[in-house]
Amino acid sequence: METYTALEQTARKKSYTKPAFAIGIFAAVYGLAKMDWPLILMGACVLYVLLYKKTVVVDEEGIKTTYNAVFFKKNSFTPFTEIQAVLAEGGNDPEMTIGFIKNGMASNSLFTRSDGENVVRLAKEGNPNIVVRTTRPRRKGLFS
């Protein structure tokens, strides 16, 4: 059984996770020291968002999405028969963004180029009526 897992983070841009953790902890601790409730809440929200994880796994049956937050875990499954279109980002980048469109709503996931091409193939095999569109890659800079 073929399975492909989406990437959690792109290698295209720099990660700011560690500095954001430091800011969240600093805001919460400083807020506690000064008894500033909005600052405590802001620090807690920053830490919560950083701990939140979304995992997307695509196999022959469809798309399995797991939202793993601190206080809850939610699983959802979408078979390929419910997907109306797949938007695949073209270009030569080593990573590929794929959007699965269901009921007019797009759910984007990031895959390596080889995994992305296999995901599009699996979607086409799972639903022969699915529309596959290749889009232009996003521009990297302001003037490029």
pLDDT digits (tens, 9 = 90+) for 92-143: 888 888 999 998 898 889 999 899 899 999 999 999 999 999 887 766 665 5
Strands 131-135 and 85-89 come out as parallel
Nearest-Å Rg of the Cα atoms of the chain is 19
Answer yes or no: are the C-beta atoms of 4 and 60 closer than 8 Å: no
Domain limits at 103?
61-67+76-136
Closest CA to 83 of 126, 38, 23: 126
**The predicted structure's pLDDT at residue 51:** 87
Specify the number of domains making up the chain.
Answer: 2
Q: How far is CA 136 from CA 47, 52, 90, 96, 101, in A?
A: 35, 30, 5, 11, 17
pLDDT bin (cut points 50, 70, 90) of residue 83 is very high
List the CATH number of the domain containing 101: 3.30.720.90
Residue 41, domain member (yes or no): yes
Residues 126 and 83 in one domain: yes
Residue 143, domain member (yes or no): no
Residues 80 and 125 in one domain: yes
State pTM to two decimals: 0.77
**Interval 3-7 mean pLDDT:** 88
Residue 123, domain member (yes or no): yes
Question: What is the C-alpha separation between 78 and 13, in angstroms, rounded?
Answer: 30
Residue 141, domain member (yes or no): no
Question: What is the C-alpha separation between 38 and 44, in angstroms, rounded?
Answer: 10
More confident residue, 63 or 13: 63
Mean pLDDT of the chain: 87
Beta-ladder partners of 121? none
